[in-house]
Structure 1
Amino acid sequence: ISPNDQPLLVRKILKSIWFVTTHTNQVRKYRLKSFGRSSNEHRFSQDHGENQGEQINVTDYFREKWNIRLRYPHLPVVELFNPVDKNKSHFLPMELVTVDEWQRSLKPLTTEQRAKVTKKTVVKPGERFGMIRRVIDECRFDQDSYLQKFGIKVHSNDMLKIAARILTPPDIKYKSAKDNQRDVIEKVQIGKWYLNNQFNKTREIRIWALVLVSQKEPDARQVGLARDFASKIPKAMSRYGVRFNSAAIEKSDAAVPDTILARMNELKMLGCEVIIYILNQVGDDIYHVIKYFGNVKLGMVTQCTRFDKLFANNEPRKMDMYIQNLVQKFNAKLGGINQLVSLMRALTSSSPRTDIFMFFGIDCTRTTCSREQPSIAAIIGSKDSTSTQYAGRVVQQYCPKGKISVEIIKDLHIYVRELLHEFSHHNTHLPNKLVFYRAGVDDGSFQKVLDNEVRAIQRACKGSKDHHINSFNKSNYLF
């Protein structure tokens, strides 16, 4: 790890970890502050003994004081401290410091880590069937005396078969690339379809910028790839109806929050409508900084992409696919509508064409077995009949003292009612069909969450004095 990256490593990963040393025949725990020079190069003044005040390097000190010959004297020393006395540092060889075992990390997994976990844990149906058959064959449940005592029988000959059906896919409508006024229905195959036409609603971009954000000074190859990407974006996006009226304002900045904010302010003053950021070897903290400045502080539309993704998709065909995925996010952030989804064909029961659907998404994340950390609840509701524009509420939920945070969302009726009003103000009428997607509920909490949240949704529809909401009492709730 280069010296420039070491502070990031300490700040993001190592800062909250306990480290242990045992070379003094006592177990001592420390926190890590930073890295130093190699054991051969790091020198300090001795503060006791005959050689008090003399300079000595770490390698010689451990050989003379503790009779320890370092195997890796070229590695940097680690600067440790005891939280009781943060001002006193201990510079120790890396090979004599170990990570204390059985520590629990409270930090959430990154996107890449979650993807790796999913890839490791997903088992294909055929493999799972084989695993179940092996367990049945090895355990011989029909000969198990304990099961017989309890009167339990396991039918191990055949697995239970459940009738299923393939749902009719909905119609996905775009505008024709040849005739912009004509609707085109894309063919959906197993949940996928090709983007061959233009979006339903787009806008022209007068002024835009592309900013390369790097941890260190970018080289000529990196700058060249960023410029090549900037030149390809207008042509690629024009195929889908998103048009740029100017070339990009190209900038390159250090991954420093103050620098990023200053640049964003500058571009906003120039009338920039959207900023595309290329993140080059920076952590998630810089991504969150950009989103905070853009979404909360300045109200700028931002789209981030990573340099390694651009490099991996540098071939023309791969780059087209990459930009195709990017342009869909891009257009939605600008208030456009990518496609229209017609539910009539997909609904199994007859539904009048006058039905107006509103979709909700609800999730609640929490730190496992934590009495200090709040759970984070998010409630999202669509604002229009196309379900491409939405409003949301994100809240922190602190549990009562001594209790562990739970999945139930407090005051859900308030947030649902607010989102219903958002829908009403956007469309001048309310929906008569609600569809709720609820994520993150385990089997043990399912019934409790269901009972509480159905009542909260009903209360949201009944509790307002607005006559529009009162007329909504007879609506259906789909889960």
Structure 2
Amino acid sequence: MHVNEIDMEALANFLRTGRYTQDCTEAIQALNVALTHKPYSNMVTVGRSVFTPDGAQDLRGGVEMWHGIFHTVRLGQQQLFVNVDKSAGAFVKGGSAIELMRSIAPRWNLSQSLDRREKDAIETVLKGCFFRVTHRGKQFKRKYKMTQLSRAGADDTWFDHTTNDGGTRKVSVEEYYTHTYNAKLHYPRAPCFGVPGRNNTIAYFPAELCYFESGQPYKKKLNDEQVALMLRAASMKPEPRIQKIKQSIQTLDFRNNPFLAAFGMSISDRMADVPARVLQAPRIEFARGVKVVPRQGTWELNASQQYLGGATLRSWGILVFENEGRLHRGKVESFIRRLVQVLSTAGLNVVMMEPPIGYTQPQGSIDKEIGVARRRIENVCKGPIQLLIAILPGKGLMYPDIKAYCETTELGIMTQCALALKIEKANDAYCRLLGMKIVAKLGGTVSRLEENSLGFIERGRTLVVGADVTHAAPGETDRPSIASVVALVDDCGFRHIGRIQRQPSQGVGAVEVIEGLPALMMDLIASYKQIMKHHPQRILFYRDGVSESQFPEILRTEVKAIKIACHQIDPKYKPAVTFIVVKKRHNTRFFPMDRQNSDRSGNCESGTVVDTVISHPTEFDFYLQSHAGLQGTSRCAQYCVLYDENKFSSDDLQQLTFNLCHVYSRCSKATSIVPAVQYAHLLAYRARCYRDVGVNTDRPEAMPIADDLKNTMFFV
């Protein structure tokens, strides 16, 4: 038998000289096999992480969170590293099928049949999971894959049974198991698990005779409550996370791993010390020369700070999607007075000080209620509506419907949603944050950076672009992917516009190329020229959502697409392009060496940058933690420069990227990634709202946005 030989010298030569060959890829793959073979054999494996049920935490709905260990070989500068980190994963609970079903539908009375909603919930969680049966004895090890849940209980689920004389008769599942296996069912009205049978039939097993083994990954979308529980359970401050990683290294037990020894691999159990720098934060500039110095990635908003470029609010109103008995008109009026005062003090010209208020509780479509509110506002304010503030009873309730109707129809109504609970407790701080978004939506500018902080952009004619492709949640195979592209269209880093496009879902592991990027870029460049009165001469393109294995394809297709867009505008138009991939889904974590070099949360300080030792041996990349730590251990962003005609130095690009993170319309904090990419995420989320309420997105071209909103920041 022929066994392929791995040329490890090719990898060593690459680390010394930077000469990369296919042998290097094979060598890294072989090292990863040696590294992971032992833990993969002994623990539950999902991706590059291994999990155990120790300390599992309930996420409700039949799902629990397991703690795990991520580990993989990584290239560094002149040496190799093993990247180890804690991980967390969602798994279907193991055990009795009846108990599992009860955890999904806790109100189910076992003496009665499931109602439609309970049945759908159980089937959503368990469909595709493997189970075993108890009525055949412990020696029977076969697993079955659940494909459906019976509509009725075992006492009312029937099939054709072949009798001893060769005939057939209808028998219930309950009767069959009682007579054939002497299995008396205690819960005959509990449903059955259906699996593929012979001759395209479905074979049914009574739920109480089934059990699920633990360790089955939950591959479907978690609900909001489960996400919150998982984030809370998985979040860990830096110091406890360090201890957890050290425990993980002990669990992996590199020194006693025979497969590593066979490869001659020796791995230190000590974390690597890497040199880092902390970039100086830019000063934030407001109107009248007021400047603020960020502290640990954040700055305070107060009454002394006026918007740099204000706007005028003439025609606006409030629509409350709540019973007036629950949210009293007086509360809403008090909120409006406070909001108007804050906006006016900050420099927004509020012409209509007492906007009209309407209440509604729609039972079906909201179109009529919004139409009535629009006409009322325009009659009272004597002009086309500029802004509708929608007060909602709860998070997510009616939000998609409101956004889809107001932003994709010819109405083109700018909206700002707020929760009733927030309105009741509104203070100046809340109104200032809300005001930032309102000003951005009206075309104003909240703040900018001190002069020369964005030198590359301030010197003129630079288009900063953020792009992402998001896919449907696990299990939503019929949903399309969404490509979102957002561009900066001023010289102070604040005003952005965006475009979204539906494209076919490409499946797990497929290349995430943005289809139709030339048309999207031509549209954005044309809008830039319309606003700035000239074409951009430089393009700085930040691309999110791309894994390392996809770099060559993205570089080949999307840089070319940008060039095609420019050529189609004018064959002589050739702006210099820099193409950067932004990565947040990685497992690299940095910890300060001592308390003096950490922020209040114990994380590295805002502005920490690492570009040596663990960065790529030959490529232009760096890690930047631009934001302040809020919860758990901060995750820095990795920026990988794939193409650079602007010939950036490392220092210049790092400082520019960090500075850009301080100009954001939704909060007074530095963002974790450049705002253009952050806005691309928001725009993609907005596109999912349109999709969820049935807006026609089956066409491959750009998704419909009302003309009056296309060149605004409606998505913030």
Correspondence for 2:513 = 408
CA contact (8 A) 1:364 1:409 kept: yes
CA distance in 2, matches of 1:369, 1:477: 44
Instruction: Determine if the alignment matches structure 1 residue 464 to structure 2 residue 569.
Output: yes
- Equivalent position of 2:312 in the other structure: 204
Are residue 264 (structure 1) and residue 370 (structure 2) matched? yes
SS in 1 for 2:281: coil
Q: Pick closer, same or farther for the CA change 1:207–1:465 going to 2, 3 Å.
A: closer
What's the offset of the Cα at 1:252? 0.8
Residues 30 and 13 of structure 1, relative CA distance in 2, 3 Å threshold: closer
SS of the counterpart of 1:278? strand
Q: Which residue of 1 aligns with 2:490?
A: 384
Contact 1:233/1:323 (<8 A) preserved: yes
Q: Cα deviation per residue 1:319-361 (whole Å; 9 max; x = unaligned)?
A: 22111111111111111111123473377xxx59524432211
Query: Any idea what the Cα deviations from partners look like across 1:146-167, whole Å, max 9, x if unmatched?
Result: 32211101123x4222211112
Deviation at 1:282, TM superposition (A): 6.8
- Aligned-pair distance for 1:228? 2.6
User: 8 Å contact 1:187–1:193 — kept in the other structure?
Assistant: yes
Contact 2:486/2:496 (8 A) holds in 1: yes
* Amino acid in structure 1 at the alignment position of 2:467: I
Q: Say if 2:625 is the partner of 1:455.
A: no
Q: What amino acid is the match of 1:168?
A: Q
The amino acid of 2:418's aligned partner reads T
Aligned partner letter, 2:281: P
Supply the AA of the counterpart residue of 1:273.
Answer: Q
Q: Does residue 276 in structure 1 map to residue 382 in structure 2?
A: no
TM-score, normalized by length of structure 2? 0.48
CA–CA separation in structure 1 for the residues paired with 2:541 and 2:241 = 31
Question: Structure 2 CA distance, aligned partners of 1:78 and 1:240?
Answer: 62
d(CA) in 2 for partners of 1:11, 1:325:
43
1:18 Cα offset (Å): 7.5
Paired amino acid for 2:515: K
Match of 1:306 among 405, 419, 427: 419
Instruction: Quickly say closer, same or farther: Cα 1:117–1:430, change in 2 above 3 A.
Output: farther
Tell me the residue number matched to 2:540. Answer: 435
Residue matched to 1:417: 522
- Tell me the residue number matched to 2:341: 235
Provide the residue aligned with 2:244 in structure 1.
131
Q: How does 1:36-55 map to 2 (within 5 A)?
A: none
* Partner amino acid, structure 2, of 1:294: C
Q: In the aligned structure 2, how far is the partner of 1:427 from the partner of 1:132?
A: 50
State the 1:410 CA deviation.
Answer: 1.9
Q: Does 1:191 align with 2:361?
A: no
Deviation at 1:458, TM superposition (A): 3.5
Q: TM-score, normalised by structure 1?
A: 0.69
Structure 2: how far apart are the matches of 1:303 and 1:343?
Answer: 31
1:476 alignment partner, SS class: coil
For the 8 Å contact 2:338–2:428, the answer to whether it is kept is no
- Local SS of the residue matching 1:162: coil
Distance 1:238 1:413, change over 3 A: same
Say whether residues 1:169 and 2:339 are aligned partners.
Answer: no
1:257–1:289 contact (8 Å) kept in structure 2: no
Match of 1:324 among 428, 432, 435: 432
For residues 352 and 78 of structure 1, do their structure 2 counterparts lie closer, same or farther at Cα, with a shift above 3 Å needed?
closer
User: For 1:11 and 1:265, how far apart are their aligned partners in 2?
Assistant: 38
SS in structure 2 at match of 1:338: coil
Q: Does 1:291 align with 2:403?
A: yes
- What is aligned with 2:176? none
Q: Note closer, same or farther for the CA distance 1:428–1:78 as it changes in structure 2 (3 Å cut).
A: farther
> Does structure 1 retain, via aligned residues, the 8 Å contact 2:316–2:352?
no
What is the distance in 2 between the residues matched to 1:296 and 1:12? 32
Of 334, 337, 344, the residue aligned with 2:442 is 334
Counterpart CA distance in 1 for 2:494 and 2:364 is 32
Once residues 500 and 150 of structure 2 are traced to their aligned partners in structure 1, the CA distance between those partners, rounded to angstroms, is 34
Distance 1:154 1:328 in 2: 50
How far does the alpha carbon of each residue in 1:390-417 deviate from its partner, in whole angstroms, 9 at most, with x for none? 22221122157x9975422123233223
Matched, 1:149 2:262: yes
- The aligned counterpart of 2:464 is 359
1:126: Cα distance to partner? 2.2
State the Cα distance separating 1:125 from its structure 2 match. Answer: 2.9
Structure 1 Cα separation of the partners of residues 576 and 147 of structure 2: 65
The match for 1:179 is none
Q: Which runs of 5+ in 1 are unaligned?
A: 34-66, 71-76, 83-94, 176-181
Provide closer, same or farther for how the CA distance between residues 346 and 384 of structure 1 changes in structure 2, counting only shifts above 3 A.
closer
Is the 2:319–2:360 contact (alpha carbons within 8 Å) kept by the matching residues of 1? yes
Q: Do the aligned partners of 1:200 and 1:337 also contact (CA within 8 Å) in 2?
A: yes
Q: Secondary structure at the match of 1:363?
A: strand
Q: SS where residue 277 of structure 2 aligns?
A: coil
Is the alpha carbon distance of 1:207 and 1:436 closer, same or farther for their aligned partners in structure 2, counting shifts above 3 Å?
same
1:470 match: secondary structure: coil
Displacement, 1:451? Answer: 4.3
On the 8 A contact 2:460/2:491 being kept in 1, the answer is no
User: AA paired with 2:390?
Assistant: Y
> Residues 537 and 575 of structure 2 are in contact (CA less than 8 Å); yes or no, is this contact kept in structure 1?
no
Distance 1:387 1:357 in 2: 10
TM-superposed deviation, 1:287:
0.6
In the alignment, the residues of structure 1 paired with residue 361 and residue 374 of structure 2 have an alpha-carbon distance, to the nearest angstrom, of 19
Alignment match, 1:252: 359
The answer to whether the Cα contact below 8 Å between 1:213 and 1:279 also exists between their aligned partners in 2 is: yes
The CA distance in 1 between the partners of 2:211 and 2:401, in whole Å, is: 30
SS in 2 for 1:436: strand
Q: Letter of the aligned partner of 1:430 in structure 2?
A: H
What is the alpha-carbon distance in structure 2 between the residues aligned to residue 477 and residue 106 of structure 1?
44
8 A Cα contact 2:391 2:417, kept in partner: yes
Q: Is the 8 A contact 2:123 2:149 kept in 1?
A: no
Fraction of identical pairs, as percent: 23
Post-superposition CA distance 1:361-382 (Å, at most 9, x none): 1111113587643221111112
CA distance in 2: counterparts of 1:461 and 1:8, whole angstroms: 55
Once the 2 structures are TM-superposed, how far is the Cα of residue 288 of structure 1 from its aligned partner? 1.0
For residue 399 of structure 2, what is the amino acid of its counterpart? Y
Question: Cα distance, 1:173 vs. partner?
Answer: 1.4
Q: Tell me how far apart the structure 1 counterparts of residues 567 and 536 of structure 2 sit (CA, whole Å).
A: 14
Task: Note if 1:375 corresponds to 2:481.
Answer: yes
Pair 1:445–1:253, CA change in 2 (3 A): same
**Bigger shift: 366-375 or 436-445?**
366-375
Q: Give 2:470's aligned amino acid.
A: T
Summarize deviations over 1:94-135 as a string: whole Å, max 9, x none: x99x9999797755x667765554444344332232223233
Shift of 1:305: 0.7
Which residue type is aligned with residue 174 of structure 1? F
For 2:545 and 2:338, how far apart are their aligned partners in 1? 40
